[in-house]
Amino acid sequence: MISLGIEGTAHSIGVGIIQDFKGKCHVLSNLIKTYTPEKGGIHPREAANYHAAHIADLISDSVKKANLNFSDIDLVSFSQGPGLGPCLRTAATAARALALTLDKPIMGTNHCVAHLEIGKGTIDECTDPVLLYVSGANTQVIAFAEGKYRVFGETLDVGIGNCLDKFGRTVGIKFPCGPKIEEMAKKGERYLNLPYSIKGMDIAFSGLLTAAEHFFHKGNKLEDICFSIQETTFAALTEVTERAMAHTEKNEVLLGGGVASNTRLREMVNIMAQEREASFFVPSQRLCLDNGAMIAWLGFLMYENGIRMSIEESVINQRFRTDMVDVTWRG
Ligand code: ATP
Ligand code: FE2
């Protein structure tokens, strides 16, 4: 089956096409365009306007890149939530228009579940992981238990990516700030004591953010602050991930989301996995980001397992939680 997926939960708009082969996912194309505001944060409506301006070209380019014709597409999937309302509505509208034009079924998917399934779908040995999903808006530790993907731990305030971006904005680094903070952190020499807040299996970053900004205003070296932010936040993320692994007795850990590009985070989680004799997986860079291929793959899994969605049911849900999805395709 050939499934086309449209992803538009936040500042990226993506169109990907996948084909299933012996239970695994083959990515035929996966195009992403990202809205970057001139200054400041993302304004949802401006991001949605950007998506609307690019979606038609992305769809046709994606079909071309996959060496297909429109008539080859069997299913149109889209990100139903969670995310920013105007962005979600733009992606969903495009999906409806395409499904109706091609006279093909439509499938709305949960964005966070898609991040987990694409790891399982594209990495052979990855079968039942605990996912550490670290993006701009989201920070969650997710694993399968009793018919659902459950959130074992999550941020109580901002996502880790937003935390890095907010700090970056304060100190004058251009968005997205994560990669530049990573570069600076490599030159850090001194660890500055930052608040480390874990409550149960949940994490909070806003106290750390305030403290880091305070260090900056006091004239501490930016490299040292970046180093300390990474060491502290990543240690907390690794700790809650390890707790979820122990609790669920799972021996695989998977990274997802834009912050999964960070080599120091990968290193820390990998060390933790090795110490537990568990396997550590990261999908390819593009499949970690918000992308259409992961939406296409999850849509396929749902469709193949008998789930159907009418156009009337294809409404978006800004607060679509991971554990609202009945994961019937895992048996
Ligand atoms: P979602 O809707 O899933 O929350 P998003 O659009 O907010 O997605 P992504 O596109 O998954 O987020 O990731 C973007 C975030 O990743 C930004 O906050 C960016 O700073 C961060 N990031 C990217 N590369 C790195 C890196 N090397 N180290 C740390 N953070 C990074
Ligand atoms: Fe995401």
89-101, pLDDT tens digit by residue? 999 999 999 999 9
Hey, whose CA ends up nearest to atom 11 of ligand 1?
A: 258
CA of 8 to the centre of ligand 2 (A): 10
CB atoms within 10 A of CB 240: 24
Looking at the CA of residue 289, tell me the nearest atom of ligand 1.
11
Residue-averaged pLDDT of the chain: 97
Statement to judge: residues 165 and 92 lie in one domain: no
Statement to judge: residues 148 and 266 lie in one domain: yes
User: What confidence score (pLDDT) does residue 78 get?
Assistant: 98
User: What confidence score (pLDDT) does residue 42 get?
Assistant: 81
Statement to judge: residues 166 and 276 lie in one domain: yes
pLDDT in tens, 202-211: 999 999 999 9
The helix (H) or strand (E) run that includes residue 129 is none
331: pLDDT strictly greater than 80: no
pLDDT in tens, 273-289: 999 999 999 999 999 99
Which residue segment(s) compose the domain that 315 sits in? 2-116+287-324
- Prediction pTM value: 0.95
CA of 304 to the centre of ligand 2 (A): 23
267 in a structural domain: yes
N- to C-terminal Cα separation, the chain = 20
Give 145-212 as a DSSP string: ETTEEEEEEEBSSS-HHHHHHHHHHHHTPPSS-HHHHHHHHHT--S------EEETTEEE-HHHHHHH
CA of 76 to the centre of ligand 2 (A): 19
User: What confidence score (pLDDT) does residue 209 get?
Assistant: 98
User: What confidence score (pLDDT) does residue 77 get?
Assistant: 98
pLDDT in tens, 30-57: 999 999 887 777 899 999 999 999 999 9
Identify the nearest ligand to the CA of 292 by its number.
2
Looking at the CA of residue 133, tell me the nearest atom of ligand 1.
3
Identify the nearest ligand to the CA of 138 by its number.
1
330 in a structural domain: no
Strands 12-21 and 24-34, bridge-based pairing: antiparallel
Statement to judge: residues 35 and 137 lie in one domain: no
Q: Taking CB atoms and a 6 Å cutoff, what residues make up the pocket around ligand 1?
A: 9-12, 83, 135-138, 159, 161, 164-165, 176-179, 182, 257-259, 261-262, 289-290
Number of domains in the chain: 2
- % of the chain at pLDDT higher than 70: 100
pLDDT in tens, 242-258: 999 999 999 999 999 99
202 forms beta bridges with 199
154: pLDDT strictly greater than 90: yes
User: What confidence score (pLDDT) does residue 175 get?
Assistant: 84
Query: Residue 308 belongs to a domain with what CATH number?
Result: 3.30.420.40
Statement to judge: residues 140 and 274 lie in one domain: yes
329 in a structural domain: no
Q: Return d(Cα 284, Cα 33) in angstroms, integer.
A: 17
> What tokens were used for 314?
């294809």
> What tokens were used for 87?
């962005």
pLDDT in tens, 168-178: 999 999 888 99
- Residue 231 has phi, psi (to 5 degrees) of -60, -45
Mean predicted confidence (pLDDT) in 188-208: 97
29 in a structural domain: yes
> What tokens were used for 207?
């106290």
CA of 105 to the centre of ligand 1 (A): 31
Hey, whose CA ends up nearest to atom 5 of ligand 1?
A: 136
Q: Return d(Cα 293, Cα 4) in angstroms, integer.
A: 7
CA of 138 to the centre of ligand 2 (A): 7
User: What confidence score (pLDDT) does residue 127 get?
Assistant: 96
